[in-house]
Amino acid sequence: IGSKKVGINPDNVATPIAASLGDLITLSLLAGVSSTLYNYIDTWYLSPLVCLVFLGLIPVWVVVARLSPQIREVLRSGWQPVIIAMSISSFGGLILDKTVSHPKFEGMAVFTPVINGVGGNLAAIQASRISTYLHFWSTPGILPYKMRQHWPNPCITFLSSGVNSRSARVLLMLVIPGHMVFLYAISLLQGEEAPISEAFIVCFLFAAML
């Protein structure tokens, strides 16, 4: 509603806010549950009980989600990207755990949310804009003619004259300035705990662009 009043495309605002709130709520729940379990660490049955409660809630949420026809379709066909994303995140967590424990890479953990969050939010904005475009200009399950002409590739995505390509170019140009802002903020807040050299900035921005 606020985006509409000030003339801003909601796709550019709603998606990052939803993602950030989701992360905040998830981390808050994780912190609360883990703190409670740690306080009652001697109670051996508490951890399995909490796991059983959460597992027992899964059928409830499935039933609630099936009440919506649109979400019902996602329940059947939307598991593959979720499972793949969880697998990649878990593998990345193992690598991060090995990295932060090394004395040479002390302070690297603070950069992980930045490189993940900026890229993830920009990609989410683009996905939201494409979804809105498809909602307005196509029939569900049928791609518009221009999108069927070419198989998606980097050249078509960034160099064509379509509206989605223009937004992709704009978002790509925001990668380096966005990361530079966060790197500057980290250098101010962390100081010597997270030393940032010129070589690190170049490698970090190169990885962010990839």
* Three-class DSSP category at 101: coil
Interacting residues of 15 by C-beta distance below 8 A, sequence separation 6+: 121, 124, 125, 127, 128
The pTM score is 0.65
Interacting residues of 168 by C-beta distance below 8 A, sequence separation 6+: 126, 157, 158
Contact criterion met (CB below 8 Å) for 186 and 108:
no
31, pLDDT greater than 80: yes
Average pLDDT, the chain: 79
What is the arithmetic mean of pLDDT over 81-103?
Answer: 77
**Residue 77, CB half-sphere, CA atoms under 13 Å: how many?**
6
Contact criterion met (CB below 8 Å) for 196 and 107:
no
32, pLDDT greater than 80: yes
Amino acid at 155: C
Q: What is the CA radius of gyration of the chain?
A: 21
DSSP-H helix ranges across 66-106 = 69-77, 79-100
Q: Domain map of the chain by residue range? A: 103-209
Write out pLDDT tens, residues 51-80. 899 899 988 988 888 888 777 777 777 777
Write out pLDDT tens, residues 129-185. 887 777 777 777 677 766 666 666 777 777 777 777 888 888 888 888 888 888 888
| CA–CA dist 90, 178 (Å, integer) | 26
